[in-house]
Amino acid sequence: MNAERDLAPLAPSVVRALNDKLYEKRKVAALEIEKLVREFVAQNNTSQIKHVILILSQEFALSQHPHSRKGGLIGLAACSIALGKDSGLYLKELIEPVLTCFNDADSRLRYYACEALYNIVKVARGSVLPHFNVLFDGLSKLAADPDPNVKSGSELLDRLLKDIVTESNQFDLVGFIPLLRERIYSNNQYARQFIISWILVLESVPDINLLDYLPEILDGLFQILGDNSKEIRKMCEVALGEFLKEIKKNPSSVKFAEMANILVIHCQAADDLIQLTAMCWMREFIQLAGRVMLPYSSGILTAVLPCLSYDDRKKNIKEVANVCNQSLMKLVIPEDDEMDEAKQSITLSAEPNPEEPITKPEAASSGESLLLFSFLCSSERIQVTLNLDGIVQVLDCHLHDTSIGMMTRIAVLKWLYHLYIKTPRKMFRHTDSLFPILLRTLSDESDEVILKDLEVLAEIASSPAGQTEGYGPSEAAEPRPSQVELHVPIRNSQLRPKGLECSPSTPTMNSYFYKFMINLLRRFSSERKLLETRGAFIIRQLCLLLNAENIFHSMADILLREEDLKFASTMVHTLNTILLTSSELFQLRNQLKDLRTPESRNLFCCLYRSWCHNPVTTVSLCFLTQNYKHAYDLIQKFGDLEVTVDFLTEVDKLVQLIECPIFTSSGPTEGWGGIGGV
């Protein structure tokens, strides 16, 4: 710059001093500028004030010469000091050239820019708030500056700006949020520390409701929580903790639905701290928001279910996940099954109009529903939908995943059982797709998993809702599109087990019961190891969960037409052993011992026809039912049979049974009558 150039009203000596490389000379020039501007202020000469600022900005602060830029910065700071409370009228012109110098390659110049802006902000105080975003933007960059002096200077300016925001009630939060949302994704540690420090400050100001905008920044906060710096992680943990406290105090102002998916994502994080924190938030959301969280159930289950199988190294996460799972399950209510599929959405408002009549279906659930939604603002209308298809898809996916842990499999089966209890009508639309995997789960290595699986299958087989779906056991039907076909053979009417349908002593099973029996026997046939190791266990448990007479009646009827005679013999032997030895079958044994009723005779005839697949079991059935003459005749026929190792083994087992207390008059306390003479 030509020092002799006329830059009036600045004197030539002031111009030369501002361009000098020595700081002291520039400082003297700044004092002269301050004196000059004070005179203009006294004269109310705004045009000259603007002219001086323009010269300092264009000719100095934005000059190509580094010393000129330094002179311009100190000159602008002097102008601000001279203007005092009137500096607010010229802040845009004062601030913009200084912020430009924040990007200067010279670290000393960046430091002088911090110093100049500090003086400008200190004088203007609250008047700088309309320019807060540009100040914040500049400071966020300097927070990561490699030069320690620049960082130190920016920290001083940062503290000053925080003080101003804290003491003011005119902060424009709405205008600031987009910038905060953008900068919160910075990967620089210093920038992250700067962001978190500002969030903590804004949270502490009573007049600033940052909670309203939490959905905008929550994802970024969880990402910062995974920072490598312990200090930053701790700061972020504190910030999230403060937000959660505020949520618990003021649930009415929380936008739960907008944050649900954010939590779902971070509940699956690899970082333990992120996952635990997100899971704790999810727990609170489910408990505070209630059914508002239902539309996000499939995502929540995707995140929560795998955590239930964590070992002790992640015990805390596992415990919180378990609470989330239990709380979410409780949100599913019978009313969810009553809604029409096309109108499954329930729109609720917190303050219903007392003049609007409540229809009967609404009245039935209003007691619980209105309580759950009492915290919603009257201006908000929340659409709550039980996404059953999504939930079932997630549960089905987890059952198919062989890598998941035992506790997760148990939780999945508990969910399916719960859904069949609470929403049976809708769940039966998914039964054909679930049935194959439920049958395969019977081969699970865990007894507890098998027990839960049997509970689900038993509920499917006995639920009244199953009568409205599919086809009956005596009918053939075309499989519906997109459904897994359950193969039910066309049955001859004369072979239909009338006792299964007509016996007054047995409850009516639904159309899935017979399908279940067919597919269970088919599974035993294709997987003989399952029959050997778990067959008796499975059938005994089913006799507890369902009606034992129906189970034996239907299995005997199915086995009557079994083409694999060896399997039929093995299966009959298994059923016979269970019949004779299991405490669960006590009542059925007593029923067979008394053949005076049509029902007991019908059952005996059905069993007898199938028991004929195995000579020894046929004899034992005759002993049980006290048909001794016929048993004697059958034993006489044994001489005509081919004597094999298997046959001799069967005979040996029968002899052992005959010698045990079961077949004596002084039987066990369960009430066995004797069959004297044997």
Give the pLDDT confidence of 132-159 residue by residue, as tens digits.
Answer: 999 999 999 899 899 999 999 999 999 9
CB atoms closer than 10 angstroms to residue 664: 16
Query: What's residue 8's pLDDT?
Result: 86
pLDDT tens-place string over residues 383-429: 577 889 999 999 999 999 989 999 999 999 999 999 999 999 999 99
Query: What's residue 599's pLDDT?
Result: 87
Mean pLDDT, range 584-596, rounded to an integer:
87
CA nearest to 396, candidates 523, 305, 270, 294: 305
Mean pLDDT, range 640-649, rounded to an integer:
73
Query: What's residue 5's pLDDT?
Result: 60
Mean pLDDT, range 622-644, rounded to an integer:
81
Query: What's residue 628's pLDDT?
Result: 85
What residue type is 152 in one-letter code?
S
Q: What percent of the chain has pLDDT over 70?
A: 82
Higher-confidence residue of 442 and 370: namely 442
Mean pLDDT, range 485-492, rounded to an integer:
34
Question: Mean pLDDT in the chain?
Answer: 84
Query: What's residue 349's pLDDT?
Result: 38
Separation between Cα atoms, residue 199 and residue 221, nearest integer Å: 10
Residues 242-250: contacts with CB under 8 Å, at least 24 apart = 242/200, 242/203, 243/203, 243/210, 243/211, 243/214, 244/280, 244/281, 244/284, 246/203, 246/211, 247/211, 247/284, 247/288, 248/284, 248/288, 250/211
Separation between Cα atoms, residue 381 and residue 227, nearest integer Å: 38
Mean pLDDT, range 478-489, rounded to an integer:
34
Q: Residue 384, SS3? A: strand
Contact (Cβ atoms closer than 8 angstroms) between residue 450 and residue 534: yes
pLDDT tens-place string over residues 228-238: 999 999 999 99
Q: How confident is the model at residue 310 (pLDDT cuts 50, 70, 90)?
A: very high
pLDDT tens-place string over residues 76-123: 999 999 999 999 999 999 999 999 999 999 999 999 999 999 999 999
Query: What's residue 189's pLDDT?
Result: 93
